[in-house]
Chains A and B, each alone.
Chain A
Amino acid sequence: MSHDGHHSIVIPAPGPEFVPHTVAHHFDSPVQEFQACKLGFWLFLATEILLFGGLFAAYFYFHEAYPETFRLGGQQLNWKLGAVNTTVLLLSSWTMAMGVRSAQTSQKKATILFCWLTVLGAAIFMGIKFVEYKAKYEHGFLPLFGGFEVADWFKDTHHVMKDVPHGHMFFAIYFTMTAIHGLHVLIGAGLILWIIKGASKGRFHAGYYLPVDLVGLYWHLVDLIWIFLFPLLYLVP
């Protein structure tokens, strides 16, 4: 038998510090809502994989075409800062996983704490990224202010790339990939802040933690992409 749609299904709050969740009226059950939203989010993540995939294909394409440019270009990056940033992102991925786990087990304070730690990781990551971008810009490697010709941004101030063909090519790829990745870090941090807001109102608990779960998946994807970017850009093989 099915209900007639006039009554809503409510998932009760597990404690006084939480609020109940009302299942959207076009779903027949909480399980259906959870599974539908989660499948939708996995499909969205699949589109992200394909979107970044195009950039990775471009990387391999030009790494094959100009191996010397890429090797020398990679040496201009500070691999220690890259390694620190990798560690920061891996740690933040762990705190996010723990944040989701805390929501699953109705631990309100832990959820909020782990989410804040993840945002902290995002902030450190972007801070280090800013330091790196600044240095690269001063070396004439980064296109931050537009220009009609490549010479307007690729100045190669210290002439380190002058002996390899198309020296700007590595930095073009580096800039494109890290800028789009950085944009995802910022969006992810914004989403986690939104989760923190909801969590402090007690919206997320064992009965309903779907948004925490989905934002967590998004954050892990950001980490996932960086796992490949780090060796490809900072330790060019």
Chain B
Amino acid sequence: MTTHTPHVDVHSGAHTGTTNYLNNTSGFMSWAGTLDHKRIGLMYLIGVSMAFLAGGIFALLVRLHLWSPDGALFTNEAYNQIFTLHGAFMVFLFVIPAIPASLGNMVLPLMLGAKDVALPRLNLLSFYLWVTGAALAMYSILAGGFDTGWTFYAPYSLYTNQAVISIGLGIFILGFSSIFTGLNFIVTTHKLRAPGLTWFRMPLFVWAIYATSILQVLATPVLGITVALVALERTYHIGIFDPRLGGDPVLFEHFFWFYSHPAVYIMVLPAFGIISECVSVHSRKPLFGYKMIAFSSLAIAIISFLVWGHHMFTSGQSTYAMFAFSFLTFFVAIPTAIKEFSWVATVWKGSIDLNSPMLYTLAFLIIFAIGGLTGVILGVLNVDIHLHDTYYVVAHFHYVMMGSISLAFFAGLHHWWPKMFGVMYNESLAKLACAIIFIGFNATFIPQFIMGSRGMPRRYAEYAAEYQPFHQASTIGAMILGCGVALMFGYLLASLFAGKKAMQNQWGGVTLDWMTPTPPPLENFHQTPVWRGEVYDYSTLDLRSTQTPVS
């Protein structure tokens, strides 16, 4: 019994019955010691979701504190710690690993027709490095917390009397977790593609993860050496970043942003990949400008190494360097706009299925347009001098990091949920949650754009009374957003126990991830598949042969 589509030979092996990666072995060690990319991806999914919930709770505490101009809840010192925890948890424990390590791990080998990632033991090691980094972050909270902001700017981070070394070590370790994941995916993409699956037949999610991985491998080591130097400064006061000792804090910012600007693309490129998949599958159309999207991922990866100084326009860097960085920043907009245009052109006149993954995708398209364009505004040198370190910046990067990346993550979660677990969530609740999240998100951050452009500085525990209406609107928005996210996690978890059985190929996808049994068996494919024909060719898919319920 085999499932054939005209353009790909896959033996789905219905004879193996109900054995899949979730139930083929059991017991604690079968998970803790697993080398299966799907189980590792699932453990990452649990981990990053917990980090997201923790970071989200910190965010809500920040918003509640800002309800009144003199700070409603905490001392100023505690407030500093809480916004730092929000940033550090969200950036290092959630957004950076979220899509590549969880969904990427789960789906990338499936899409390539591989049995596993190229280096499965390294994959498990990266997961445990992530766990160690998370444990160090928790330890740092217990050891008194840290109040430097997620950016750890010198010289404050060199002197503050808090647990900076332990969180620095945590970030160093998380960095290597990220490096090893990226390294693994590059090797997997190069060496483990199924026969016939050439570079320009790969799904765009693979292209996006590949470009991300290059950034992870090349940029993250510089973050590692930067936090190592901060730790050395704190123990020995060697003086490299310390202006009192002849060092230069601007050098810290160069090092930090050499990583952290590309890191924005480590976060957002995988989101682009998910959107490319969702846009194509749920519009039932091949992607408009496939090659342009593929190449624009690489272009973004390369350009992102040339623009880091736009975070330092008020830091005392040379005026001439600022000219160059501002000028180069505009080039990021070109490949990004190519993507946005291609997605919209794909949806255009497609037979759109307005299911929940597609709704999250459409929400992404709107929010990312705003997030991206406000970034161009901030790249203008003289405008940034005014807007630097205001809520305008906060709103901009939340439109990118929360609004775009998290929504894409949710889209991917809803898209591959039936694949991963063989069950479907409650679709009406999913649509409702998507609407609540979209409304709550905009209600939170549109007021921040306004008050930011009027001069409200970020990271302040207290503020002038004239900003109170904006802060209160933002806090109400954050509560709505929080309810939407809670609802989403609620029905997703409920589906594991009471969900309907999913279809073998729930959405009628034509990439290899939809050609395996659902949920996939241990080594994904009973025989190495052979790919023929073009990518995203929906004309060849016989829906009746693939949309059978999971046995």
Q: Do any CB atoms of chain A lie under 8 A from CB atoms of chain B in the complex?
A: yes
| B238 partner, pick from A4, A35, A143, beta carbons under 8 A | A143
**Which of B49-57, B126-134, B184-192, B499-507 lies at the interface with chain A?**
B184-192
B187 touches A4 (CB 8 A): no
Cβ contact of B183, chosen from A44, A57, A173, cutoff 8 A: A44
Whether A2 pairs with B528 at a CB distance below 8 angstroms is: yes
Q: A75 in the interface, Cβ–Cβ < 8 Å?
A: no
Is A150 interfacial (CB 8 A cutoff)? yes
Contact yes or no, B217 A39, CB < 8 A: no
Name the contact of B222 in the complex, choosing from A51, A152, A176 (C-beta under 8 A). Answer: A51
B239, A166: Cβ atoms closer than 8 Å: yes
Interface pairs (28), CB distance under 8 Å: A4-B526, A5-B523, A26-B120, A26-B192, A32-B191, A35-B191, A36-B118, A36-B187, A40-B184, A40-B187, A46-B217, A46-B218, A50-B219, A50-B221, A51-B221, A51-B222, A53-B222, A54-B221, A54-B222, A54-B255, A61-B251, A143-B237, A146-B235, A148-B237, A152-B237, A168-B245, A169-B240, A175-B238
User: CA A152 – CA B236 in complex, angstroms?
Assistant: 8
Docked Cα-Cα span, A176 to B183, in Å, equals: 27
Closest residue of chain A to B226 (Cβ to Cβ) is: A54
Identify the closest chain B residue to A152 (Cβ): B237
Interface 1/0s, chain A 132-170, versus B by CB < 8 A?
000000000001001111101100000000000110110
Q: A36-B192, A53-B222 are in contact. Are A4 and B527 (CB under 8 A)?
A: yes
Query: B203-236 vs A: 1/0 string, CB under 8 Å?
Result: 0000000000000011111101110110010011
Return the contact of A43 from the options B186, B222, B255 (Cβ within 8 A).
B186
Q: Given contacts A26-B120, A50-B221, is CB(A150)–CB(B187) below 8 Å? A: no
Of B179, B225, B245, most A-chain CB atoms within 10 Å: B225
- A78, CB-defined interface residue at 8 Å: no
State in angstroms the CA–CA spacing of A62 and B243 once bound together. 12
Contact with A along B106-133 (1 / 0, CB 8 A): 0000000011101110100000000000
- A172 in the interface, Cβ–Cβ < 8 Å? yes
B246 contacts the other chain (Cβ, under 8 Å)? yes
B248: Cβ under 8 A from any A Cβ: yes
A177 CB, nearest partner CB in chain B, Å: 11
Question: Does B490 sit at the interface, judged by CB under 8 A?
Answer: no
Task: Determine the residue in chain A with the shortest Cβ distance to B246.
Answer: A166
Cβ distance B201 to chain A, nearest Cβ, rounded Å: 18
B527's partner among A2, A65, A150 (CB-CB below 8 A) is: A2
Other contacts beyond A26-B192, A47-B183, A54-B222: 7, CB < 8 A? A36-B188, A36-B191, A39-B186, A47-B220, A147-B237, A166-B246, A176-B229
| Beta-carbon contact of B239 and A172 below 8 Å | yes
Q: Which residues of B contact A150 (CB under 8 A)?
A: 237-239, 245
Q: Is the CB of A51 within 8 A of B224?
A: yes
- Cα distance A51–B228 in the bound complex, in angstroms: 10
Interface residues as binary, A105-141 with B (CB distance below 8 Å gives 1, 0 otherwise): 0000000000000000000000000000000000000
At the interface, yes or no: A55 with Cβ under 8 Å from chain B?
A: yes
A28 within 8 A of B: yes
A47 contacts across to B, CB distance below 8 A: 179, 183, 217-218, 220-221
Q: Residues of B contacting A40 with CB < 8 Å?
A: 118-119, 122, 183-184, 186-187
A17: Cβ under 8 A from any B Cβ: no
Tally A residues with Cβ within 8 Å of B: 46
Closest partner residue, chain A, to B213 (CB atom): A43
Q: Say yes or no: is B247 at the interface (Cβ < 8 Å to chain A).
A: yes
Min CB gap A66→B, angstroms: 7
A83 at the B interface (CB under 8 A): no
Which residues of A have CB within 8 Å of B217? 43, 46-47
A4–B228 Cα distance when bound, in Å, is 47
B119, A166: Cβ atoms closer than 8 Å = no
Q: Which 9 A-B pairs have the closest CB atoms?
A: A166-B246, A172-B238, A143-B236, A2-B528, A51-B221, A54-B225, A50-B221, A36-B191, A26-B115
Quote the shortest CB–CB distance from B533 to chain A (angstroms).
19
CB distance from B536 to the nearest CB of A (A): 25
Complexed CA–CA distance, A58 and B254 (Å): 10
Residues facing B in A178-232 (CB within 8 A) are 180
Chain B hits for A61, CB < 8 A: 248, 251
Contact with B along A1-39 (1 / 0, CB 8 A): 010110000000000000000000110100010011101
B251 contact set on A, CB distance < 8 A: 58, 61
The CA of A4 and the CA of B521, in the complex, are separated in Å by 13
CA gap between A32 and B528 in the complex, in Å:
14
Flag if A28 contacts B528 (CB, 8 Å). Answer: yes
Contact A26-B246, Cβ < 8 Å, known A54-B255, A143-B236, A153-B236: no
Decide: B119 and A36 in contact? CB cutoff 8 A: yes
**A58 shortest CB reach to chain B, Å:** 6
For the complex, what is the distance from the CA of A224 to the CA of B190, rounded to whole Å?
Answer: 27
Tell me how far the C-beta of A156 lies from the nearest C-beta in chain B, rounded to whole angstroms. 14
A193 to B240, alpha carbons, bound, how many Å? Answer: 36
Which residues of A sit under 8 angstroms from B116, Cβ to Cβ?
26
| Closest chain B CB from A69 CB (angstroms) | 8
* Given A148-B237, A176-B232, A37 contacting B119 (CB threshold 8 A): yes
Q: Given A46-B217, A51-B222, A143-B236, do A169 and B246 touch, yes or no (CB 8 Å)?
A: yes
B239 close to A43 (CB less than 8 A): no
CA distance A143 to B183 in the complex (A): 35
Q: In the complex, what residues of A have CB within 8 A of residue B246's CB?
A: 62, 65-66, 165-166, 168-169
Which residue of A has the minimal Cβ distance to B241? A58
How long is the Cα–Cα vector from A173 to B246 in the complex, in angstroms? Answer: 13
Alpha-carbon gap, A58 to B225, bound state (A): 11
For B527, list chain A residues within 8 Å (CB): 2, 4
Q: How far is the CA of A36 from the CA of B225 in the complex (A)?
A: 27
Chain A residues, Cβ within 8 Å of B187 = 36, 39-40, 43
Q: Which residues in A have their C-beta under 8 angstroms from that of B188? A: 36
Cβ–Cβ contact B238 & A176, under 8 A: yes
- On whether the beta carbons of B523 and A26 are closer than 8 Å, the reply is yes
Contacts of A35 in B (CB 8 A): 191
What A residues does B248 contact at CB under 8 A? 61, 65
Docked complex Cα distance between A169 and B236 (Å): 12
Instruction: Report how far A2 CA is from B529 CA in the complex, Å.
Output: 9
